[in-house]
Amino acid sequence: MTVPRKIGLIAACALGGLMASPAFAQEPAPAPTRQELAGKPWMNTHLSAAERTQLVLKEMTQEEKLRLVMGYFGTDLDGKHYKRPKESLHQSAGFVYGIPRLGIPNQWQTDAGVGVASQRGPNVRERTSLPSGMNTAATWNPEVGFAGGAMIGAEARSSGFNEMLAGGVNLVREPRNGRNFEYGGEDPLLAGTIVGAQIKGIQSNHIISTLKHYALNDQETGRNFLNVEVDDAAARMSDLLAFQIANEQGQPGSVMCSYNRVDGIYACENPYLLNEVLKGDWGFKGFVMSDWGATHSTVQAANNGLDQQSGVPFDKSRYFGDALGEAVANGWVPQKRLDDMAGRVLYAMFEHKLIDDPVTGPKNNIDFAAHAKVTQNDAEEGMVLLKNDNALLPIKTGLKKIAIIGSHADVGVLSGGGSSQVYPVGGMAVKGLGPDSFPGPTVYFPSSPLKAIQARAGGAQVTFNDGSDPAAAARLAASSDLVIVFAHQWTAEAFDVPNLSLPDNQDALIAAVAKANPHTAVVLETGGAVLMPWLKDVGAVLEAWYPGTSGGEAIGRVLFGEVNPSGHLPITFPASEQQLPRPVLDGDPKKPELRFDVNYSEGAAVGYKWFDLKGLKPLFPFGYGLSYTSFSYDGLAAHWADGQLTVSFTIKNTGAVAGKDVAQVYVASPKGSWEAPKRLGAFQKLALKPGESRKVSVKVDPRLLAMYQSKDKTWKIAGGEYQVTVARSALDPQASVAVKLPATTVDVNGK
């Protein structure tokens, strides 16, 4: 497979000798100790982060301010004239020099959202991986998001990092996007809530987390040059709303601007995105770092809101190096702005306690066994049971022969590729898989579904077939009582999948196996939605996403009913690509430098909203997910008081086993005056024993009842009668009630 490399590397190297050595003289005197610093005014922990920032800024030289806004790559680029700073951590994503004389630590930056990643190479860190971000979104459980964030943040800290480049919340507008697995799905409320919780968890370790990729970076094809055209109000009600909610709930120390252009201007020098929306309207006080290779200028970028250039040598120049110093000296960039840039970095470091509770180098103190349980719980709550005819699952006792087929299920589970790649403790389960350059290799984690199944199969004989020969697999299937076929779709940063079909002839494999034995369950390990031409012929389908470090065990437990599946889709599974707003992906994967526009003419009607608007029937709707038990809803009521809509109802577990339900509240406007017939207004996941019932009460964010008004930056709720529906998916309403809302206006932040 040929995939585009990170932009700018070749160009940068062609400039010759891009060294990571800092442009400042080494510290003349030894750095003061913490005791010596203790009496300094900016070290006073009773002052606010903003006050401390101003105090320390006063002490800083111009060179020191410039130092804080220049980021290096933490990995050698062999033969390319680039050596990482010696103080950086090997095979890491980023490094920024600190100011030891003032007690300001270096910034050690690591990818990414599922755990502590390593850049590819022979000496990778082995760490715990969460399931994909998509899986965590499918839990619909912010507590799971927080717990996972807290766990990977602890590993980052133990590994010597004080910044995680984690918090991807780009909406799934394009189901073929190779990075959808890193994100939180297609709905702004769900994605913003889950990703916000994860950021909060990461930062509970006194390190910074980074909301990314801001913004509208929704496909990888042509990501460095494409231009997104979208109306302000539509963006504020969709992609930007996801960022806004994640920012409010997670309070990230930093935000990473993205590769693409928006309305003709690169995101990392886009005054609308950075100065107006993020820092102005939302009041973001932390710093904006560029994606690696996404800085394109000095004066424009600095004045339009970029605070830190990241990842030299991926850019064409050291824009925020000497060039920025000169631009300030010449008055092209005001001194006040440089103070603001450095001040924002400092603010985030004070606010998130990087200065008061500094990371003190890598430690060998990770409790991998405990962390394996955290990721396992996430995987178990995020797997989605899509089909289960005649209760094929959970697997019954007393079977004689079980066949396990395909996708290296004998040894491991798949993960998503690219900069977020976490390498597994104990090494990769399958060695030698490509691609040989970024974003490879394809990594399977050594958590064997086969072993997990064997351990629970009682006396049954469990046989594995690798699936490479559909006829042989079908013969095994025909002689078995139950067949479990594993199917996979590897997705990764830097490329999109060409279509939504499973690769490598797997549809034919599944069809052949299902024909030989209808007692076939399919377990999918995919980045997002796939088509299922064989769906009617199989008994059960379990979407296991990329299930992380303990994925094999989690799959085994769900298949045997030790865990009752409770994941619900955070995306729509289309029935065909023809149903998408853009049936053909814009751009050309063979021409990564092509400049083209992607017109979001669907506006805010993303995902299920588009399907509703057009009356399209998806393969599986947003919010969908089966359980081994059943639930009923009762007593739905909605009332408006003090500018707030509250919805309450009772859920009962009406089946025979304990389970968790995701109650989804959808809201619909009076005259169908929104971008689409309905929106997710609130949700709640809760665990219920058999026969147990509980009352639920949720509040609907006023922005989800309103239309955004660009002209005065408000959200306006039209007066009238709204429909409130509690549902088990976007297409499975359980009860509806009407509620009258008065015409109401809230500010840009929904207050």
Q: Minimum Å distance from CB 93 to ligand BGC?
A: 4
From 187, 239, 291, 315, active-site residue: 291
**Binding site residues, ligand BGC, CB under 6 A:** 6, 93, 111-112, 165, 212, 291-292, 419
Q: Is 34 exposed, middle or buried (0-12, 13-18, 19+ CB in 10 A)?
A: exposed
Element (H, E) at 407: none
Helix, strand, or coil here: 336? helix
- Closer CB to ligand BGC, 255 or 667, in the complex: 255
- Closer CB to ligand BGC, 114 or 541, in the complex: 114
Residue pair 185/139 in contact by the 8 Å Cβ criterion: no
Q: Which residues are bridge partners to 238 per DSSP? A: none
> Distance between CA atoms of 725 and 603, rounded to whole angstroms?
24
Q: Minimum Å distance from CB 234 to ligand BGC?
A: 24
Q: Which residues are bridge partners to 723 per DSSP? A: 668, 738
Q: Minimum Å distance from CB 258 to ligand BGC?
A: 8
- Closer CB to ligand BGC, 257 or 741, in the complex: 257
- Closer CB to ligand BGC, 292 or 611, in the complex: 292
- Closer CB to ligand BGC, 109 or 572, in the complex: 109
> Distance between CA atoms of 585 and 228, rounded to whole angstroms?
13
| The residue to which tokens 């470091």 are assigned | 349
Q: Minimum Å distance from CB 91 to ligand BGC?
A: 11
> Distance between CA atoms of 118 and 415, rounded to whole angstroms?
14
Q: Which residues are bridge partners to 627 per DSSP? A: none
- Closer CB to ligand BGC, 120 or 408, in the complex: 120
Residue pair 571/218 in contact by the 8 Å Cβ criterion: no
- Closer CB to ligand BGC, 127 or 387, in the complex: 127
Q: Minimum Å distance from CB 348 to ligand BGC?
A: 16
> Distance between CA atoms of 548 and 143, rounded to whole angstroms?
18
Distance of alpha carbon 293 from its chain centroid, rounded? 20
Ramachandran angles phi, psi of 553, nearest 5°: -65, -45
CA atoms within 13 A on the CB side of 63: 7
- Closer CB to ligand BGC, 6 or 352, in the complex: 6
**How are beta strands 227-229 and 597-599 bridged, if at all?**
parallel
Q: Which residues are bridge partners to 660 per DSSP? A: 687
Structure tokens at 675: 């971008």
Instruction: Please give the single-letter amino acid code of residue 737.
Output: V
Q: Minimum Å distance from CB 225 to ligand BGC?
A: 15
Residue of 59, 21, 64 lying closest to 40 (CA atoms): 59
Q: Minimum Å distance from CB 95 to ligand BGC?
A: 11
Residue of 313, 217, 220 lying closest to 4 (CA atoms): 220
642 is a catalytic site residue: no
**How are beta strands 720-727 and 733-741 bridged, if at all?**
antiparallel
Q: Is 35 exposed, middle or buried (0-12, 13-18, 19+ CB in 10 A)?
A: exposed
- Closer CB to ligand BGC, 165 or 487, in the complex: 165
| The residue to which tokens 């990818």 are assigned | 111
In sequence order, what are the residues at sequence separation of 6 or more whose Cβ sits closer than 8 angstroms to the Cβ of residue 274?
Answer: 257, 268, 288, 304, 305, 306
Q: Minimum Å distance from CB 71 to ligand BGC?
A: 10
Q: Minimum Å distance from CB 444 to ligand BGC?
A: 22
Q: Contacts by 29-33 with C-beta closer than 8 Å and gap 24+?
A: 29/101, 31/100, 31/101, 32/100, 32/101, 32/103
Structure tokens at 303: 């004045």
Instruction: Please give the single-letter amino acid code of residue 345.
Output: V
- Closer CB to ligand BGC, 152 or 165, in the complex: 165
DSSP per position, 226-285: -EEE--HHHHHTTHHHHHHHHHHHH--SEEEE-SSEETTEEGGG-TIIIIIIIIIIS---
- Closer CB to ligand BGC, 112 or 474, in the complex: 112
CA atoms within 13 A on the CB side of 402: 26
What is the DSSP code (8-state) at residue 424? P
Element (H, E) at 635: strand 631-641
Helix, strand, or coil here: 57? helix
> Distance between CA atoms of 248 and 169, rounded to whole angstroms?
13
> Distance between CA atoms of 609 and 618, rounded to whole angstroms?
12
- Closer CB to ligand BGC, 178 or 539, in the complex: 178
Return the exposure string of 647-672: e unless at least 16 CB atoms fall within 10 Å of the residue's CB, then b.
Answer: bebebbbebeebbbbbbbbbbbbeee
> Distance between CA atoms of 520 and 657, rounded to whole angstroms?
23
- Closer CB to ligand BGC, 292 or 534, in the complex: 292
Ramachandran angles phi, psi of 42, nearest 5°: -75, -5
Residue pair 421/118 in contact by the 8 Å Cβ criterion: yes
Q: Minimum Å distance from CB 272 to ligand BGC?
A: 21
As annotated, the active-site residues are 291
